[in-house]
A and B are shown apart, each in its own frame.
Chain A
Amino acid sequence: MSAGAMRRDESRGGRHECLRHNLLLEIGCEEIPDSMLSGALDYLGGAVSGLLKENDLGEPHVRTDATPRRLVVRAEGVSARQPDSEERVWGPASNAPPAAIAGFAKKQGMAPEQLEILSDGKAMKYSFVRKIEGRPTTTILAEALPQLVLKAPFPKTMYWTGKGGVRFIRPIRWIVALLDDQVVPFEIAGVASGNESSGHRKLGAARFPVTYENFEAKLRENFVILSAAERRKRIRAVPTKYKCDNDLLDMLVNLTEWPTPFTGSFDAEFLDLPKEVLMMVMRHHQKYFAVETADGKLAPKFVAVTNTDGDPEGLIRHGNERVLRARFNDARFFWETDQKRKLSERVEDLKNVTFQAKLGSYYEKTERIYDLVNRMCALPAVSSQTDSAQVSNHAKRAARLCKADLTTELVKEFTELQGIIGGLYARAQGEPEEVAAAIYDHYKPVSMEDTIPGTMAGALLSIADKLDTLRGCFRVGLIPSGSKDPFALRRAAQGIVKILVEGKLRLPIQTLCDGNPQLEEFMAERVRHYFREIRGFQYDEVNAVLSSGWDDLLDVEERLIAVKAVRPTEDFEPLAASFKRIRNILKQAQFEGLGDSLQDGLIESGPERELFEAFEVTRLALKVLPDYRSRLEKVAGLRPKVDRFFDKILVNAPDPAVRRNRLTLLHHLLAEFSTIADFSEIVTNSPESKEIN
């Protein structure tokens, strides 16, 4: 016996009236880490919306909100219950013995005469229609919500009720679950849902009843602003003009329920300390916005955001100013202590700082960086420049000193400022400005959004440092796999690519990989990634261009721009398809005559000779055409001849000598015209691309 498809009965009960209900779900937690809120809301909004739709409870408008202590989902336009439905239940065949029919009817709670005989598509059977009453929304939600909430994906969850207990981002302490004014009853981790929410920890009531309608107003009365947009506005509404840092702003929006900003100040004497250090303390340690003067200098002020409704006595401002003073004093203490020994005197100390067990100390790394810088300076990319002697001297001096700041107190305290501190110290200790700048910049770019080093010496140093890490790690087998990349080698390689291309440096990147094929492949992958993801070239264009060589990345860039420009022209893709075909033909023929020259006498007049002549003309033309684009256009112009050749000529000629000569022609065609890009890598829609000759 089988149940037929469910059919909702829409006529009963007045569906439209049912849709007027509103759902409120608030998961009250201990302070949720600020970075977790948006992901949790994305999940919860989607999950609640999905749950309501799956159960045919309307297509409600769902919105989500969060503060550090609550995740809130509200849905408008929810049905009070599922619509009724009916299903057809099939019983025994129409010719079944009466006892079987009576048995079926009894089991289903029907009288035999209520059954009807119908075809289920295959046979005539006894059957009847069962009415199924739609379930109340409250019941459905009460069943589903606990699991739905607990499935919220968080990167690191905890348990708190005991071993084996439920896991969530932080302990759940209250739950509001209301369908209009009716509680949706369920329990999570021993906390029963109800209609009581909780206010700001200090300014609001611990528990107070809410309804769907008054929820936001009640929260506001209890010093909780539910809307993140409104909290953001409050933070922005401070008379002091500060440098808005959006990441910090988001963090503060998600750390507060009732944000109130204030402006604090610090002693202007601290402005003697480097701006970088002051900013780091304010931004990362204290979560303050830095304030700048009209001319872009740091002002002796900061903007902090409290989770309170004000600071009439100035106690909070006073406390924060005191903390900042202590932190700045620390920094000053470190700065002054560090000045007692120059960077140049600290280089020796690097013998005691391990870079990596198998790769030795930072002293050894320094030596290797120096050698690499030296080597790069001798290459034409650098040596051909007019100021090459100066660049070389500065880069080498910077290489000697660049890691010495690792032994300073300030870098031990603010590791994020390594390099930057070294640059500042170099400047303070009278090193040439170019040397200081090179050290300052040598970790750049720290991300793909970051800028590259500002000077040639800095670029060379940055490349040498990263290259040394890559070469060393690959040599001793510390090669990234999957998501594991503890030495951030991908970022290092990506940084080199970015510096070479954007710094217009024609250093031979592949050659610098030291003949290590694994490193070459790793580097090539970063080159592909850079041109695809950062520069937006098509993946097949990138593959095609890289197949023709990638040692000079500026050349790669030029060729890519040309391919991209020529690609939309009508001859290009068909020609690319023909090249693919040629490649397949040569492969299938196991063509080995790579050194053969063409024998003029074997070339048949007509399409074959026409192609040959066009080939010769094009080959010579390419030598004089000034740029890749016009050369590519010229090659694309071969298309009609190539097409005609394939139309009319049988490559696989009966005479082996003719056959070989034809294959040689194709081989030359491919070899001569693949120096800009390997066209056979271009993905085309032309039928040739699939055909195997």
Chain B
Amino acid sequence: MSQSVAPTFQEIVSRLKQYWSERGCVIQEPYDVEVGAGTSCPETFLRALGPKPYRTAYVQPSRRPADGRYGDNPNRLYKHMQLQVILKPTPADVIEQYMGSLEAIGIDLRKHDLKLEEDNWENPSLGAWGVGWQVMLDGLEITQFTYFQQCGGVDLELVPAEITYGLERLTAFLQNVDSVYDIEWTRGVKYRDVRYTDELQYSVYNFELADIPTLWKLFEIHEKEARRLVDSYAEYEPKKRFPLLATYDHVLKCSNLFNTLDARGAISVTERAAVIGRIRRLAVDVAADWLEQAA
């Protein structure tokens, strides 16, 4: 495909949103607490629980402190954009629908090689896992496709399909560029123009300047607040008013702080399992209360 007709980054985002909007998805905006993946957002993690059908799609900037490369690496980013689609329950033609979304952004699948290769997903801090595939397009992993089986350690009543598009990769593929920084965000504006500075600055912060004792203190503050809230749920009436969403925000804060500490090399292998366990216990408690509250 020639450069001139390739859609821009923001056109790809809006076409995908449009496509899923036409298939009954609530188009959400990015969640405003930092997360490592769109899965952690309440729109996925909490909505996946319980018997209510739900469909949503949203772009989620996903922060992976360890993946930062000071803006130097053409393929690796501290923060990348995911388009997250949740279809709960999963329609029988989910893969055909997904393939339709690729055609909607201009990929003629008869001319390309699409393979679904086994890739099961697990997020131990959220007690969540599922089975599925990485979707390979001409050798490039463009999507993670997961049938959720558990969230917060709970077997899900309806099985959602989670489709996570790696938007930078997909766009680089369509625009035929080798570096994500050369992606055309909109006509005349490159990805570099929009995002280079935050890649550089966050890399410096995460790898060099983040103060480990301060991060640990912050971790403990959020953990304590989440724990305090979770523990007060049992006594609280009426249950419907209880701020589980606010509680969950503190869990997400813990999770991001953990990732930052990890990138900083401040967590040893054994500590790792223990800290993940602390976050998971909070997530599991929120999930259980959420189910009860919604019932």
Which chain A residues have a beta carbon within 8 Å of chain B's beta carbons?
A: 30-31, 33-35, 68, 156, 158-163, 165, 170-171, 173, 201-203, 206, 255-256, 286, 288, 304, 306-308, 311, 313, 315-316, 318-320, 322-326, 329-330, 333, 352, 354, 356-357
Flag whether B115 is at the interface (Cβ < 8 A): yes
B113: which A residues are within 8 A, CB to CB?
Answer: 306-308, 311, 316, 319-320
B156: which A residues are within 8 A, CB to CB?
Answer: 163
B75 near A319 with CB under 8 A, answer no
B73 near A330 with CB under 8 A, answer yes
Instruction: Using A326-B75, A357-B270 as known contacts, say yes or no to A162 and B115 having CB atoms under 8 A apart.
Output: no
Flag whether B265 is at the interface (Cβ < 8 A): yes
| Least Cβ–Cβ distance between A39 and chain B, in angstroms | 14
* Alpha-carbon distance between A357 and B271 when the two chains are bound, in angstroms: 9
Flag whether B187 is at the interface (Cβ < 8 A): no
| Residue ID in chain A nearest B265 by CB atoms | A352
Flag whether B118 is at the interface (Cβ < 8 A): yes
| Least Cβ–Cβ distance between B281 and chain A, in angstroms | 20
| Least Cβ–Cβ distance between B68 and chain A, in angstroms | 13
Instruction: Using A160-B159, A286-B139, A326-B74 as known contacts, say yes or no to A203 and B110 having CB atoms under 8 A apart.
Output: yes
| Residue ID in chain B nearest A158 by CB atoms | B131
| Residue ID in chain A nearest B1 by CB atoms | A315
* Alpha-carbon distance between A206 and B113 when the two chains are bound, in angstroms: 18
| Least Cβ–Cβ distance between A405 and chain B, in angstroms | 17
B120 near A330 with CB under 8 A, answer no
| Least Cβ–Cβ distance between A528 and chain B, in angstroms | 33
Flag whether B209 is at the interface (Cβ < 8 A): no
Question: Of B57-65, B88-96, B212-220, which stretch is located at the interface?
Answer: B88-96
| Residue ID in chain A nearest B111 by CB atoms | A315
* Alpha-carbon distance between A256 and B114 when the two chains are bound, in angstroms: 10
* Alpha-carbon distance between A689 and B109 when the two chains are bound, in angstroms: 74
B270 near A354 with CB under 8 A, answer yes
A319 near B139 with CB under 8 A, answer yes
Flag whether B19 is at the interface (Cβ < 8 A): no
* Alpha-carbon distance between A34 and B118 when the two chains are bound, in angstroms: 8
* Alpha-carbon distance between A323 and B131 when the two chains are bound, in angstroms: 25
| Least Cβ–Cβ distance between A42 and chain B, in angstroms | 19
| Residue ID in chain A nearest B133 by CB atoms | A31
Which B residues, 119 to 160, have Cβ-Cβ distances below 8 Å to chain A? 120, 130-131, 133, 137-140, 147, 149, 155-159
Which one of A163, A170, A202, A288 contacts B114 once the chains associate, using CB atoms below 8 Å? A202
* Alpha-carbon distance between A315 and B174 when the two chains are bound, in angstroms: 11
A156: which B residues are within 8 A, CB to CB?
Answer: 120, 131
Which one of A173, A256, A323 contacts B140 once the chains associate, using CB atoms below 8 Å? A323
| Least Cβ–Cβ distance between A206 and chain B, in angstroms | 8
A286: which B residues are within 8 A, CB to CB?
Answer: 139
| Residue ID in chain B nearest A334 by CB atoms | B73
A161 near B159 with CB under 8 A, answer yes
* Alpha-carbon distance between A639 and B89 when the two chains are bound, in angstroms: 79
Q: How many B residues face the partner with a CB closer than 8 A?
A: 44
Which one of A323, A326, A333, A356 contacts B269 once the chains associate, using CB atoms below 8 Å? A356
A329 near B74 with CB under 8 A, answer yes
Instruction: Using A158-B147, A203-B110, A304-B139 as known contacts, say yes or no to A357 and B269 having CB atoms under 8 A apart.
Output: yes
| Residue ID in chain B nearest A36 by CB atoms | B118
B268 near A354 with CB under 8 A, answer yes
A162 near B159 with CB under 8 A, answer yes
B265: which A residues are within 8 A, CB to CB?
Answer: 352
Known: A31-B118, A326-B178, A356-B269. 12 other contacts (CB 8 A): A171-B92, A202-B99, A288-B139, A306-B113, A311-B111, A313-B111, A316-B112, A316-B113, A320-B138, A329-B178, A357-B268, A357-B269
B158: which A residues are within 8 A, CB to CB?
Answer: 162-163
A-B contacts, 14 of them at CB < 8 A, read A30-B95, A160-B90, A160-B147, A161-B159, A162-B159, A201-B95, A286-B139, A308-B110, A319-B112, A320-B138, A322-B178, A324-B139, A357-B269, A357-B270
A202 near B139 with CB under 8 A, answer no
* Alpha-carbon distance between A313 and B76 when the two chains are bound, in angstroms: 30
Flag whether B9 is at the interface (Cβ < 8 A): no
A158 near B74 with CB under 8 A, answer no
Chain B 60-86 near chain A by CB (<8 Å), digits 1 or 0: 000000000000111110000000000
| Least Cβ–Cβ distance between A401 and chain B, in angstroms | 21
Interface centre among A156, A163, A311 (most CB of B within 10 A): A163
Interface centre among A68, A160, A316, A324 (most CB of B within 10 A): A160
* Alpha-carbon distance between A288 and B136 when the two chains are bound, in angstroms: 13
| Residue ID in chain B nearest A413 by CB atoms | B76
Flag whether B116 is at the interface (Cβ < 8 A): yes
B140: which A residues are within 8 A, CB to CB?
Answer: 319, 322-323
| Least Cβ–Cβ distance between A166 and chain B, in angstroms | 12
| Least Cβ–Cβ distance between B69 and chain A, in angstroms | 8
